[in-house]
Amino acid sequence: MYDYEFHHLRSADLIRRAEHERLVREALRARRAARREATERSAEGAAEKEAHTSRHRRHRHPRAA
């Protein structure tokens, strides 16, 4: 009898944990998507303001070791 009850308690606990992990993954995906959209929007705004600049993104010569 105890084994049967223990099995049900364990099963319910595993189901709760899986649901919690699924919700965490969904929240992370939503945050990443929102961050990605904000980055794209700010990049579009910056691209419109500064279409071409004379600055180089990298140094001309690599650093000495």
pTM above 0.75, yes or no: no
5-20 pLDDT, tens digit per residue, is 999 999 999 999 999 9
Report the SS3 class of residue 52.
Answer: coil
DSSP 12: H
Report the pLDDT averaged over residues 41-49. 74
